[in-house]
Structure 1
Amino acid sequence: MTDSHQPSKLTALTIRRLTLTRGSLTSILQCCPALETIDLWETTLIPSWNFDDYQHARVNRLTALITDTFDDGNPPLLVHFPELTWLDTYYDSSLSAFPTQKVKDTVSRWCPNLNYLGTNHTPALILSHLVANVLFGLSGLVFNYDNISPEVILALLCYPDNWITLSVYSLRDYYSHSVDDPVPMVKDHFQGSRWMIQSIMRGYSKLRLFHFPDHEMDMDQIDRVSWSCNELKSIRVRIKGLDTKERIEGAINRWKEGKKQKSLGKEIKNPEEEDDSIEARVARHLLQFDKLRILWLGTKTCAL
C-alpha cells in the first residue's frame, strides 16, 4: 500500500459516469502530482464552496465531453490543466448550439499547447467545424472513419502546414496477424471520394504518421501527382489490387528488400522498374520515403 504521507505515483486515472464536486476533483489532482492522463468521461462536476483553480503541472491528456469541458455555469475544466496537449472529446448536438467562441477563448487562455484532438463518434459536421473554425493549432487528429466526409477533408486542407499525425480509431491489433487470419474487408464508405485523400498526401509536407486502415488507395491516382510528405514514418492503408495475403506480403517484401539495398548504399535493381505488377508499383512508390519504417497494408505490421 502507498504510504499515506507520500504522494501518489499514479500516472493515469479514470473516473467515469460519476458526480464530483470541483473541490473533490481538486483534491484528487493535488494528491496525484505524477498524473499525466485523466479520463472524466460523462463525469458531472458541481460547484463547491472550497473550489480553487489549482493547476496540475503534468497532466497532458484529458478525456471529457465538450459539454462538461466548457460548462458556462462554472470555471472551465481546462483551468486545471495548463500543460494539456491532447483532448479526447465528443459532441453530438446541433452545430448552431456549439459553444464556438467559448471553446476558442478557453483553449487559448488555459491550454495554449493543445495540439492533438481525438473526437470519438463526433459527427462529420461538428468535426469539420472544430478543425476549420475552432482549434487552429492542431497538429494531430484521430477520428472515426465512419464520420469522414468531403467537408472533413476540406477542413483538414485549411491548414496543410500543421498536420503531423492523422489517424482513425481501430480495434485491430496491427502487430499480431496469424497466417490463418483473413485479409480484412475494405469499407465501402467514402471509397467513391477516395481521390480526395490524395490531396492530403500531396499537400502535407510535415506528415509523419498516416493511419487509415479502412481506406483503400488506388495506385493510378497515387501515380498522377507525387506525395510531398517526405517526413512520413508510419503508414497504414489498403491498396487496390493488394487483396490477398500473397500480394500484400509480396509488396512488403519488395519494399523491405529495397530498404535493405538503400541502407547498404546499393542502387535498386533496374529490372524492378520494368515490373508493372501492383506489388512492384507499391514498393517503388513507398521506397521514395526514406524515413518510412512502419508499414501496414492489410496483414501484419512490418516495422524496420
Structure 2
Amino acid sequence: MTHEDLVSILQLRLPRTDVLGAVITSFQHMEVVNFGSTFKSIFKSFSTSPSLLSYFPNLTTLSTFNYNAGDTGPSSARVKRETSLYCPRLSGYYLEDDTGNIIHKILTKVAKVNTVEKIRFLYEHISQELVTAILLHQSCLRVITHFDLYAGFDLEKDELVPVKNQMEESKKLLQLIPRRCPKLEHVDLHLHEMDMDDVEVEEWVCKDLRSIRTRIKDLDTKEKILKTIKLWRKGCWR
C-alpha cells in the first residue's frame, strides 16, 4: 500500500509482520498517533534504513513486543535517541515481552522522567522494581492498564475469571500508584485483588479518577457485588 492509501489512518498495528528490505521513498504519516509492531522490526539490528518511527512524527502511543528471550534488542541509548528524534510527542507505551525487560528499560532509561502518560504491561511482571519505575512518572501518569489475557471470557456469566494467587506484597505495592499519581484518570487492573483495608491506610491523590476496573477482596459472588454497589451509591464503604 502507498502513502496515499494510508493517509487517513490514525492507528497502525503490524503484530505478526516482519518489515523487510529498505525503503526506497521516504514519507511521513502525519495522522498516525498509535503504531504497533515487533521490537525487532522497529529497531533493526542491521539496517541502513531509517527507523520505522521516522514515518510517524506525531506518534503518541507505541505498542511493541518481543517474545524472543534470547534477543536483548537495541541499547537503551539507541531507543532513547530514536524516540526523541522521530517521535517527540510520544507519551504512551504498550509493552510485552517474556521477562519484563522492555517495560523497565522504557520507563527508566528511555523515557524522560515524568513524560509517560499511558502504560500497559503484562500483569505477571508486577514487582517492586516495576512500581518504582512507574512512579518515576507520577506527576503525569493518566492511564495504567495490563493486557487482557482473557479477552474471550464471557463477562455476562456469573463467575470470575480464574487467576493465580497474588503475593500480598504486590497488592500493597500497587496502592502506591493512586496515592502518588494526582493526574490518574483510568485504572484497569482487573486481575488485581484490592483489599479495602489497604486502600484506607492512606488517601488517594487522584481526585479526577474517572474509571477503575479491579477486584475487591471478598466480593466473589454476584449477590455480594450487587449489595456492595448499593452501599457505594448511598455513600457507604462497608
| TM bucket normalised to smaller | 0.7 to 0.9
Q: Distance in 2 between matches of 1:229 and 1:174?
A: 30
**Shift of residue 133, structure 1, vs aligned partner:** 1.4
Say yes or no: does 1:86 pair with 2:64. no
| Residue in structure 2 matching 1:177, options 135, 151, 156 | 156
Instruction: Tell me if structure 2 keeps the 8 A contact 1:208–1:233.
Output: yes
Say yes or no: does 1:166 pair with 2:141. no
Instruction: Tell me if structure 1 keeps the 8 A contact 2:95–2:102.
Output: no
**Shift of residue 190, structure 1, vs aligned partner:** 4.0
Q: Distance in 2 between matches of 1:241 and 1:62?
A: 39
Please give the per-residue CA displacement for 1:182-240, whole angstroms capped at 9, x wherever unaligned.
Answer: 13334314444210011111101000001100001111111111111111000011111
Higher helix share: 1
Instruction: Tell me if structure 2 keeps the 8 A contact 1:116–1:138.
Output: yes
Aligned to 1:148: 126
Aligned to 1:45: 20
Q: Distance in 2 between matches of 1:133 and 1:95?
A: 18
Aligned to 2:186: 209
Say yes or no: does 1:231 pair with 2:204. no
Say which SS state the counterpart of residue 161 (structure 1) adopts: coil
| Residue in structure 1 matching 2:76, options 100, 114, 118 | 100
Say which SS state the counterpart of residue 108 (structure 1) adopts: helix
- Counterpart AA for 2:202: V
Q: How does 1:20-31 map to 2 (within 5 A)?
A: 28-31=2-5
- Counterpart AA for 2:133: A
The size of the alignment, in residue pairs, is 231
Q: Distance in 2 between matches of 1:133 and 1:143?
A: 17
Q: Distance in 2 between matches of 1:112 and 1:174?
A: 38
Q: Which runs of 5+ in 1 are unaligned?
A: 1-26, 259-271, 273-279, 282-304
Give the CA RMSD over aligned residues: 2.2
Aligned to 1:250: 227
| Residue in structure 2 matching 1:76, options 51, 58, 71 | 51
Instruction: Tell me if structure 2 keeps the 8 A contact 1:117–1:141.
Output: yes
Say yes or no: does 1:35 pair with 2:13. no
Q: Distance in 2 between matches of 1:130 and 1:124?
A: 10
Instruction: Tell me if structure 2 keeps the 8 A contact 1:183–1:243.
Output: yes
What TM-score, normalized to structure 2? 0.88
Instruction: Tell me if structure 2 keeps the 8 A contact 1:129–1:155.
Output: no
Q: Distance in 1 between matches of 2:204 and 2:37?
A: 36
Please give the per-residue CA displacement for 1:125-181, whole angstroms capped at 9, x wherever unaligned.
Answer: 332121111123221011111222221111101221121000011134799524xx2
- Counterpart AA for 2:100: A
- Sequence identity (%): 28
Quickly say closer, same or farther: Cα 1:46–1:190, change in 2 above 3 A. farther
Task: Tell me which structure has the larger Cα radius of gyration.
Answer: 1
Higher-RCO chain (CA-CA 8 Å, sequence separation at least 6): 2
Q: Which runs of 5+ in 2 are unaligned?
A: none
- Counterpart AA for 1:242: L
**Shift of residue 103, structure 1, vs aligned partner:** 0.9
